[in-house]
Amino acid sequence: MKSRACWCGLIVLALGFSSCSPEESSREQMVNLEVVQNDDPGKQLVSLNKAIERSKKDGSLFARRAMVLLHKGELEAALEDVNLAISLSKHDPSNYFVKAQVLYLMGRHEEALPLALRAERNSFQSASLYVLLSELYLQKRNYAQARRYVRQALELSPENEFAFYYNGRILSEMGDTARAVYNYKQALAQRPDFMEPHRELAGLYLSRRDMILAEQHLQKVGRLAPQDPLRWYYQGLLQLDAQRKDSAQLSFSKALSLADTLQGAHFQMGLLEHGQGNYEAALQHLEQAKKTYGIRLKYLSVTASAYERLGENLAALRTYERMVAIEPKHTYAQQSIARLKYRLERPRPQLDSMAVRRSGF
């Protein structure tokens, strides 16, 4: 979610292949592509369609059209064009970079990586390529490779906002938040309307409980990307800090309407629903947050409490036992285990046999 929107912006910078070969440039001049540089994708497509009609064996034209289609979000058509480009110009490394971008945006990241590496091995040099490789290795949590490629991007393009942004992402995941903040600020120095660094800074300042700076960056995110789900999630956290629980709940709900896999929002909704006595709803949200939050004591405590309030004593007992496994001296969990064991093990009252006979059974 984070990376796809950011990468769409980077594609704009990659539309004109800065590393094209002289032969490629000659072919473009032969088919008169002066209007292809227009920023309007519709006009670019018209020009490229005409050029392709005149020169159907020119792979570079299909590659350019693939990039325009990619920018328009027409990924299947872009993939078809770049495959044609590769079949016509197998030795052009830029085609493999284009295909890597298409596959990346289609969510086929494992297929994108070898193509991006093939472009690099064939001497295609581009800050955009190195940023893509950095992002792909970041997803694998291979921070050494991710940092290697982001450094190469900055060597080629020292003021590249996307390289600074991804460097910030890498450093943040490595726990170096101070340097991450520096890199996000460097990205914004190059492009003040770059939404993602504002959003990342809002999250980092929230974690530091610097609510004033967090809110400043979050306001900018709201203006730049009002439907961004993380914006609504962070907004909810700010509202919780200000004790505005109703507003926070609305924000978390909005975040989940935009991205229902956002586990932080599910966790917070679970806590709020539990506090309102809506135990079934709380458990539904907490189950959705289990992968990320399932070993946290707060998560387990609220989950166990919800089970117990619903009369699911065995499930509550097992959850309290997981709490003690994590924190053996957790007094409340120990007391809850004793209480639930007594409740589960105490003998059920027996019916009076004489009363049964008198009732005619």
Stated length of the chain: 361
Contacts of 89 (CB under 8 A, 6+ apart): 59, 60, 63, 95
Please give the backbone phi and psi of residue 69, each rounded to the nearest 5 degrees, phi first. -65, -40
When the candidates are 1.25.40.10, 3.10.20.740, 2.40.110.10, 1.10.10.1150, the CATH number that belongs to 2-263 is 1.25.40.10
Q: Is 326 in contact with 295 (CB distance < 8 Å)?
A: yes
Give the model's confidence band at 352: pLDDT under 50 very low, under 70 low, under 90 confident, else very high: low
Give me the pLDDT at residue 25, please.
30
Give me the pLDDT at residue 35, please.
31
Tokens of 356: 């049964």
Q: Is the pLDDT of residue 360 over 70?
A: no
Q: Is 289 in contact with 299 (CB distance < 8 Å)?
A: yes
- b/e string for 268-293 if b means 16 or more Cβ within 10 A? bbbbbbbeeebbebbbebbebbeeeb
Stronger pLDDT, 329 or 39, i.e. the higher one: 329
d(CA 305, CA 313): 10
Number of H helices, E strands in the chain: 22, 0
Give the model's confidence band at 53: pLDDT under 50 very low, under 70 low, under 90 confident, else very high: confident
Among residues 213, 157, 164, the alpha carbon closest in space to that of 191 is found at 164
d(CA 61, CA 44): 11
Q: Find the mean pLDDT for residues 145-168.
A: 96
For residue 92, with 0-12 CB atoms within 10 Å meaning exposed, 13-18 middle and 19 or more buried, which class applies?
A: buried
Please give the backbone phi and psi of residue 90, each rounded to the nearest 5 degrees, phi first. -60, -25
How crowded is residue 341: how many other Cβ atoms within 10 Å of its Cβ? 14
d(CA 145, CA 147): 5
Lowest mean pLDDT among 86-90, 175-179, 226-230: 86-90
3-class DSSP state of 183: helix
Give me the pLDDT at residue 12, please.
42
Q: What are the domain boundaries of the chain?
A: 2-263
Give me the pLDDT at residue 2, please.
57
d(CA 256, CA 288): 11
Give me the pLDDT at residue 358, please.
45
Q: Is the pLDDT of residue 18 over 60?
A: no
Give me the pLDDT at residue 194, please.
96
Q: Find the mean pLDDT for residues 210-219.
A: 97
Ramachandran class of 82: left when φ > 0, alpha when ψ lies in -120 to 50, beta otherwise: alpha
Nearest 5°: the CA angle 279, 272, 225 is 130
Q: Is the pLDDT of residue 29 over 70?
A: no
d(CA 98, CA 60): 11
